[in-house]
Structure formats: C-alpha cells, structure tokens
Amino acid sequence: MDELYADNLHPVDAESALLSGAVTRTQRDHPNLPGPRYSVVGTATDLTTMVAVVCRFEPPGQLLIITCYEIE
C-alpha cells in the first residue's frame, strides 16, 4: 500500500493493471520464497498511467501482491 500511495495510485489501479496487463517477467531465483514471482504491466484506471504489479500465488489459490508502482 505504501508503494501505491507514494506513486499517487490506488488499489483499484493495481486491479486495473492486473486485468488489463500482461506478464512481462517471471522470477524464479529467490531461494526463500515458495514459487515464482510475476511482474504484470498494465494501465491504471485512467487508461494512460502504466503500472507494474509484482505478485505470486499463495495456497490455496490466492494472489499475493508484493508491490505495485508507476512505470515512468
């Protein structure tokens, strides 16, 4: 939430980026995290601001958002 608000974004902007975006990177190299992390890039609700969301799946079938930020 801190990263969102630092970039003047709101939780609905992260949701919009996830729904409109695409996976641009998959990271599997972190030894302390179970499973890969995905970087998804899409647009915020204003349809012009590019937003990146880093997330991973948690059992049982939940999506954990690690961070979210505006791409400048």
Q: What is the pLDDT of residue 61?
A: 86
Residue 24 structure tokens: 């641009």
Closest CA to 27 of 40, 43, 13: 40
Beta-carbon neighbour count of residue 54 at 10 Å?
Answer: 17
pLDDT tens for 7-47 read 999 999 999 999 999 999 999 877 777 789 999 999 999 99
Name the token pair of 67: 């961070």
pLDDT confidence bin for 63, thresholds 50/70/90: very high
Residue 40 host element (H or E): strand 37-43
Task: Return the closest-CA partner of residue 14 out of 68, 72, 58, 71.
Answer: 68
47-60, pLDDT tens digit by residue? 999 999 999 998 88
Write down the pLDDT at residue 2: 86
Tell me what pLDDT residue 72 has.
87
